[in-house]
Each structure stands twice: as C-alpha cells, then as structure tokens.
C-alpha cells in the first residue's frame, strides 16, 4: 500500500461536534417508577456494596493523518492508538486489570487500505463508511467499544461501571455512567427536580426507548461536592432495558448507593466530582500504555518511505 504521512500535526483538523453525532431521538417515559406529579428527590437506600466493582474506560489518540495513494487518487485516513482497561475496587484496594491496546488504520471500506507495519506497532485496517469526520469518529468509537467489551468479559465483578453510555452493552451487571450532558431527557414539568437534588439523592427512574440495545432504564444522581451551579455533581446513569421496572428500580437504588464514595475532590481532580477516582486512575494508566506519540508518528513516516 502506497501512503504518505500528512506534514501537519495530527491534532489539526480533529475538531468535531461529537454531541451532534451521539445525540439520538430517544423518547423518555418518565412514569415508569412514579407519576409526574409525584416526582420528588429520592434519598439513598442503605445497601451492601459488592465485593468488587469494576470501572471501565477507553481512550483514543490520533497518531498520524495519512494519504493513501491508489490509481492516481489520494484518500485521507488516520492512524489511531486505542486502549481500554478497568480499575477494580475492593474494600481497601484498587487494581488495574484487563488492559488492552490496539492500533488502527481507519480508512473508507471502499479503499484498498491494509495493515501498516512499523518498527514499533502494526496498525490494523478498520473500515469506515466514508472519508467524513463523522464516519471516521464512528469507526474509531466502534473499535474502542470492542476493546471495552473485551475488558468487561475479563472481569468477574458484581457491578461494572462503563464511563459513558452503555451503547448496547447488554450485560446485566453493567451500568453506563454519563458525566457530560448534551441534552436533558426529562420532560419540562419535572426538569426542576435536578436542581433540587441533594448529595446522594436520585431522580425517579425513566425509560429511554430506541438506541442500541432497544432501550435503557435511566436516572439522574447528584454526587457529593461543591455546588457551583444547579447541575454541579449531576450524572446520568443507564441500565440495560431488560426486565421489569421494579427490577430496574432495585438495581438503580443499589448503584446509587455504591457510587458516591468514589466521587473525586476539586483539589485532586479538575473534573470533580463527576470524574470518579477509579476512572481518573485508569485514564492515566491507559495514556501511559498508548506509548510515545512522536515515536509512533516517526515510525509511520519511515514506513511510508518519507522518514529519517
């Protein structure tokens, strides 16, 4: 495969409206636990924490932007490093487990792209629908999700917290943990409850129809910490949409009681309290495992025949 490495730094041209891509037309049924006129903050319920909780996250980094040359045409593509892993927390301990690292060449499925081997890594071909930034993002995200699912299968914990939406994860041990709010799913009559949540309190459950997996149970929770604005410390959580509403409520109470103790503090974590300590820890370890970006870019230039 004939290719060249773009001379610009990889981060240029990477701006993307992620919220526009990930936003969905999901409809929320906010009456699955309580009628709308009965919506009030729900206090945490005491429950026994599982012996182990896994917090799973994944990251990606563009190592180089390249041009694939075929039949006199140059096609844009990207070389990406990805990693996923878990922080497994038990009483008094936290360990890193199940780390997976992958390198991907993301290019249109219609191209003649193939793996790129370098001295330090091999970038396996991952097809994208086309050359648009949106298609590239979705292909990268799909590969990252595969890594995260592999991590989840490698741990044997009673509760698995994914940093981000579930995106089709159907394991009943799983919960999606969303700390960035691109939209508010609650109907207007009950939206004000978010500002009224106290530390550790949650909203009643609602059901999101559509999306991957056929629907999810969801609710909002306020983590303990300074209150700078009404949405400070507010996170949204998701459960797989299987089972009854009563079963989902029981699971939501269980999850809501477990998570606040992992909330971060502003003097230690700039994204406190939402960026939980176990997630912050696995993020740092994954960035380390990705390796030296400049070294990888240089090796790609050598492989292209344009490096030194």
Q: Which helix (H) or strand (E) holds 300?
A: helix 293-304
What token pair was written down for 256?
């809501």
Residue 176's pLDDT band (cuts 50, 70, 90): very high
Determine how many CB atoms are found less than 10 A away from the CB of residue 117: 12
Radius of gyration of the chain (CA): 21
Q: Strands 206-209 and 27-29: what pairing? A: antiparallel
pLDDT at 232: 94
Residue carrying the six token digits 């799913």: 185
Gap between the terminal Cα atoms of the chain = 19
Query: What is the C-alpha separation between 116 and 81, in angstroms, rounded?
Result: 13
Token readout for 272 is 């406190």
Q: What is the pLDDT of residues 57-90, one digit of tens each?
A: 999 999 999 999 999 999 999 999 999 999 999 9
Q: Where do the domains of the chain lie?
A: 2-13+25-304
Which residues lie closer than 8 Å to 224 by C-beta, 6 or more apart? Answer: 199, 200, 233, 260, 263, 273
Question: What is the value of pTM for the model shown?
Answer: 0.93
pLDDT digits 0-9 by tens, 234-291: 999 999 999 999 999 999 999 999 999 999 999 999 999 999 999 999 999 999 999 9
| Burial profile 150-170: b = 16 or more Cβ within 10 angstroms, e = fewer | ebbeebebebbbbbbbbbebe
Question: Residue 199's CB: how many other CB atoms inside 10 A?
Answer: 15
Given a cut of 50, whether residue 308 has pLDDT beyond it is no
Write down the pLDDT at residue 44: 87
Question: In angstroms, rounded to a whole number, what is the distance separating the alpha carbons of residues 69 and 197?
Answer: 56
CA distances from 128 to 19, 101, 143 (A): 19, 20, 11
Residue 46 burial (CB count, 10 A) = 6
Whole-number Å distance between alpha carbons of 9 and 14: 10
Q: How far apart are CA 85 and CA 236, in angstroms?
A: 22
Select from 40, 22, 297, 305 the least CA-distant residue to 182: 22
Mean pLDDT of the chain: 92
């Amino acid at each position: 495969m004939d290719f060249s490495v773009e001379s610009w730094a990889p981060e240029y041209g990477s701006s993307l409206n992620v919220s526009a891509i990930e936003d969905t037309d999901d409809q929320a049924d906010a009456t699955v636990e309580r009628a709308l006129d009965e919506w009030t903050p729900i206090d945490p319920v005491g429950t026994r924490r599982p012996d182990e909780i896994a917090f799973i996250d994944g990251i990606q980094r563009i190592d180089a932007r390249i041009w694939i040359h075929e039949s006199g045409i140059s096609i844009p593509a990207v070389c990406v490093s990805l990693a996923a892993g878990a922080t497994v927390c038990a009483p008094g301990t936290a360990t890193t487990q199940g780390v997976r690292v992958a390198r991907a060449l993301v290019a249109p499925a219609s191209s003649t792209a193939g793996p790129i081997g370098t001295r330090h890594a091999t970038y396996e071909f991952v097809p994208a629908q086309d050359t648009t930034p949106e298609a590239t993002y979705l292909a990268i995200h799909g590969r990252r999700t595969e890594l995260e699912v592999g991590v989840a299968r490698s741990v044997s914990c009673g509760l698995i917290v994914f940093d981000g939406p579930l995106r089709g994860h159907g394991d009943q041990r799983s919960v999606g943990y969303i700390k960035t709010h691109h939209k508010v799913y609650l109907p207007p009559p009950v939206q004000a409850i978010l500002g009224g949540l106290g530390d550790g309190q949650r909203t009643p459950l609602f059901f999101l129809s559509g999306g991957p997996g056929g629907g999810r149970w969801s609710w909002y929770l306020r983590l303990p910490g300074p209150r700078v604005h009404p949405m400070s410390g507010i996170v949204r959580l998701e459960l797989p949409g299987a089972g009854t509403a009563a079963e989902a409520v029981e699971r939501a109470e269980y999850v809501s009681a477990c998570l606040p103790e992992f909330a971060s503090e502003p003097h230690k974590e700039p994204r406190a309290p939402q960026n939980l300590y176990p997630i912050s820890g696995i993020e740092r370890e994954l960035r380390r495992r990705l390796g030296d970006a400049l070294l990888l870019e240089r090796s790609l230039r050598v492989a292209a025949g344009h490096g030194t």
